[in-house]
Amino acid sequence: MDTFDSHSLDRDYIFLQDNHLKQLSQDDLVQLLDDYYNSDNKVVDILSRHHLSMRPGDLSRELPYIKIEERCPYDNSRLLEQIPSKTRTQNWLNNKICRQCGHTVYYQTNYLCDCFGCQEKRSEFRDDLAKMGTKISKQKKDYQKLSLESKVDLSAFIKMDNNPFGYRKVGVTHKNTDTGFLITESLKEQKLIYPSRDNDPEDFDKIDFKSMSYRGNWEEINWELNIKVLNYDYRQTLDTVEYMMLNQDLDDFEVESLYRKIAIESLTNYFLYSTEFLSYATPSKETVQQVVQELLSEYTPEMFLETILSTLHNYDLLAKNREKLFEKKGFMNLVQNEIKKTKKSKGTGRPAEKRSIEAAELLSDPKADAFFENVVDDPAWMGKMIPAENDSAQKLPAHELEAMIDYVEDDISIIPEELAGAKSYSITEHGILVNYKLGTIMYSDQLSLYKLAKEKNLLSEGSDWWSTNGFNFTVEKFYSLKFLLELAKTLTNSNIKQK
């Protein structure tokens, strides 16, 4: 935000139109401005002292322009800006105008300049955008081959687009992550959508036509669908995508995973939002996600949500736990305890169906809506148990996976040295155990060990769960599959005893 120095007033003033102030000499004008900005005199009195017959309210509108440092991108002349009204000197924000070509930088961001230079630039930009679009759309994606999640995202995306404001406002529950933004981002990354040719350069922060990479204000951008459905025209394709109309057999496993993912995501966001709302220490998203994931195996989303709400409104309970609430997991632990207490003691007198529809509305986001309208047609899903997680697909929190990838050993040439001093070994379902004089080392990959740690309830807070004392072996690193196979081969062909 610019500021206007109202103490150095002897400047070059420019009037773009005839007005009352234009008639004054430079000295009179400076005198008047000094009175206006730097005295407590009323505007009426100032005007009469300078023999000006105008309405006091018009003064700020008739103030002159000055040249500012910023220059016109088309002819390099310095831009003009009207000096601010008295109350706006610290917050000086007016249109910036080029006197040569009329180029205007509007202070309202939704106004676009229509000068010749800008029109030219826009039309060049649109030509480039069209070329990029043609390139991307040469490889239209086959709708049938998309993942279920992409299809749900696409459906949600088109429904959002029916909103005249572009984005659907996703409600207070999603302040933390704007689901609409994430959907757009993901579809754009997969090149399932691309910006149409009618966009304005102002809506992009960055665009590189060569590498076809761009970032921008997704809410303002118009998109084109990069999808094909055999023998369908654009309109039919659009309908197919919006209502997910192809009668394909859905993969049960895929449906259930997405069901869980959507329920967990919605509840996690709601949880984080509630914590933020209380302004206590906020636990990390991964932590909340993990708790939600665990609780959903025993409780319905509706029970979960109602407990959050009743805890939020239970002032006695909050007051009693005031201290705890300032801990990172404070509110979460409280809700967790409450949900265990109130298990199955639901008697609010309203039909469960009705309550869960209300709950679903509270957690409503475009993705959940699209899923529960098109895939599992179930408005009352909140009142039901979320399908159990498939054991073989336990999901690792992203930060743990990231931390572990740094530890993966892939260099098989170190195996002989590694096995020096080994006494015996055993090959187990979780990995290869090698006994040395000083102890046992586990050679395994991260996922198998994570699963073992989870089964044994050894997962602690933080990212280095593998250094737990709960294992009767040491985990120094993780190993690639190639490394493990080679290690097993070397051990079997060696003199080291198998136990």
- Measured distance CA(236)–CA(231) in Å, rounded: 9
Smaller CB separation from Zn ion, 100 or 137: 100
Query: What are φ and ψ of residue 326, in 5° steps?
Result: -85, 0
Cβ proximity to Zn ion: between 103 and 367 the closer is 103
Q: What is the nearest approach in angstroms of Zn ion to the Cβ of residue 352?
A: 60
72 touching Zn ion, by CB under 5 A: yes
By CB under 5 A, tell whether 101 contacts Zn ion: yes
Find the shortest distance in angstroms from Cβ 278 to Zn ion.
48
Compute the least distance from the CB of residue 219 to Zn ion, in Å.
Answer: 23
Q: Of 9, 21, 113, 129, which one interacts with Zn ion (CB under 5 A)?
A: 113
**Please, which residue, 113 or 386, has the CB nearer to Zn ion?**
113
Least Å distance between CB 115 and Zn ion? Answer: 3
Cα dihedral angle (34, 39, 43, 45), rounded to 10 degrees?
-100
Region from 4-12, 95-103, 126-134, 270-278 binding Zn ion, contact rule CB under 5 A: 95-103
User: How many amino acids of this chain bind Zn ion (CB under 5 A)?
Assistant: 10
265/296 Cα distance (integer angstroms): 12
Binding mask 17-56 for Zn ion (x = CB under 5 A): ----------------------------------------
**Cα dihedral 32→35→36→38 (10° resolution):** 140
Shortest distance (Å) from residue 121 CB to Zn ion: 8
Residue 100 or 463 with smaller CB distance to Zn ion:
100
The window from 96-104, 330-338, 362-370, 451-459 that contacts Zn ion (CB under 5 A) reads: 96-104
Helix (H) / strand (E) containing 289: helix 285-295
The smaller minimum CB distance to Zn ion, of residues 113 and 292, is found at 113
Give min distance, CB of 116 to Zn ion, in A.
Answer: 8
| 118 counts as binding Zn ion under rule CB under 5 A | yes
Q: Are 484 and 444 in contact (CB under 8 A)?
A: yes
101 vs 496 by CB, closer to Zn ion: 101
x/- binding map, residues 74-93, to Zn ion, per CB under 5 A? Answer: xx------------------
Please name which of 367, 382, 369, 275 lies closest in space to residue 330, comparing C-alpha atoms: 275
Specify whether the backbone of 431 is left (phi greater than 0), alpha (psi in -120 to 50) or beta. Answer: left
Report in angstroms how near the CB of residue 110 gets to Zn ion at its nearest: 15
Tokens 């006197």, residue located: 99
Nearer Cβ to Zn ion, position 76 or 469?
Answer: 76
- 143: which residues sit within 8 A by CB, 6+ positions away? 151, 227, 228, 229, 237, 240, 241, 246
> Judged by CB under 5 A, does residue 100 bind Zn ion?
yes
Nearer to Zn ion, 115 or 250 (CB): 115
Which of 98, 129, 183, 386 is in the footprint of Zn ion by CB under 5 A? 98
C-beta of 69: minimal distance to Zn ion in Å? 15
- Residue from 4, 13, 97, 103 binding Zn ion (CB under 5 A): 103
Q: Which region among 85-93, 118-126, 225-233, 281-289 touches Zn ion (by CB under 5 A)?
A: 118-126
Q: Does 115 bind Zn ion (CB under 5 A)?
A: yes
By C-beta, is 103 or 188 nearer to Zn ion? 103
CB of 96 to Zn ion, least distance (A): 10
CA distance 158 to 162: 7
How far is residue 199's CA from residue 223's CA, in Å, rounded to a whole number? 9
Cα dihedral value 224, 228, 233, 237, nearest 10:
-70
Q: What is the DSSP string of 59-123?
A: HHHHPPEEEEEEE-TTT-PEEEEEPPPGGGTTSB---EE-TTT--EE-SSTT----SHHHHHHHH
Residue type at position 138: K
Report how far residue 275's alpha carbon sits from residue 334's, in angstroms, rounded to the nearest whole number.
11
Binding region for Zn ion (CB under 5 A):
72, 74-75, 98, 100-101, 103, 113, 115, 118
